[in-house]
Amino acid sequence: MSGFPERFILASGSPRRKMMLERLKVPFEVRVPRTEESIAGAEEPIALVARLAKEKAMAVAKEINCDGKTTVIVGCDTIVVLGKEILGKPSDLEEAYAMITKLQGRTHMVYSGLALIKLEKGREEVISNFCATEVTMCRLSKEEIGRYFSLEDPLDKAGAYAIQDGGSLIISSIDGDYYNVLGFPVRTLEELLNQWGYSLFAAN
C-alpha cells in the first residue's frame, strides 16, 4: 500500500511548481536551493537537466535537519531546446525578444529533469528521470511578440515564454506532457515516488 514521506520538500523557488503541488493538496515545504544554473556548451539536454535537478536537490539536502523523519526532496530543472541550441532564462528583454524570434513559427523541445533524494535513518538515496515534450510556436509579428511580453514577464522563463495564460496566444500545438512545458512534469514525479512505495494520491 502506498504512503507518503513524513517530510516532502520542493527544492525550487518557482511559483508555478509551488502552485501545482498546492492544487494537488500535497503537504510540502519550499526550500530555495543556492545553486548556479551553469550550462556547459557540449552537454546534452537530458544530461544537463538531470545534473541541474540533482544539484538543486543536493544543495537543499546538505542544509536541512531531518529531525529523524523520512524526508524526500525534489529538484527540477526545465530547458527549451531549438535544434542543438539550449535556451535558458533570458538575461534581459533584448535576449528574450531574440529567443522568441528564433522560436516563432518553429517546433522545439522542452526537457525537464527531476531528481529525488530520500533521507532516512542516516542513509541517502537518489533517483531521477526526465520528460520531453515537443512544442510548436505560431508565426508571430514584432507587434505580437511585444504584446505577449506585455502580458507575461519573459525573464523568469526558459525560452522566454510560458504555455499558460498569455501562452495560449502563441502556442500552436504540443506533443507530450503539457505539465512538463509548465515546468513540472507531475506524472513523472509520481512515477519516481512509486519506486519508493510513495504516491501523491496518498498525500491527503
Strand spans (E) along 11-139: 29-30, 71-82, 85-87, 107-120, 123-137
- Give the count of alpha carbons within 13 A of 40, CB side only: 9
Residue 198 lies in a domain: yes
Q: In this structure, is residue 175 part of a structural domain?
A: yes
Q: Which residues contact 107 (CB under 8 A, 6 or more apart)?
A: 134, 135, 136, 137
Look at residue 1 and tell me if it is in a domain: no
Quick check: is 62 in a domain?
Answer: yes
Residue 2 lies in a domain: no
Closest CA to 17 of 157, 132, 148: 157
Mean pLDDT of the chain: 93
Among residues of the chain, what percentage have pLDDT more than 70?
97
Residue ranges making up the domain that contains 92 = 7-202
Average pLDDT over residues 69-95: 94
What CA–CA distance (Å, rounded) separates 90 from 198? 36
Decide: 114 and 181 in contact? Cβ < 8 Å: no
Cα atoms in the Cβ-side hemisphere of radius 13 Å centred on 195: 15
DSSP symbols for 109-140: EEEEEEEEEEEETTEEEEEEEEEEEEEEEPP-
Query: pLDDT class for 34, splitting at 50, 70, 90?
Result: confident
Query: What does each C-alpha distance from 22 to 2, 150, 158, 204 come to in angstroms?
Result: 20, 27, 22, 11
Confidence of residue 40 (pLDDT cuts 50, 70, 90): low
The gap between the terminal CA atoms of the chain, to the nearest Å, is: 15
CB 2 within 8 A of CB 199: yes
> Considering the domain boundaries, does residue 23 fall inside one?
yes
Express each pLDDT in 130-189 by its tens digit.
Answer: 999 999 999 999 999 999 999 989 998 889 999 988 888 999 999 999 999 999 999 999
Residue numbers annotated as active site = 77
Domain tally for the chain?
1
Look up cell 546534452; give the residue. 44
Q: What is the CATH number of the domain that holds 177?
A: 3.90.950.10
- Does any domain span residue 153? yes
**Mean pLDDT of the 108-125 span:** 95
Residue 141 in domain: yes
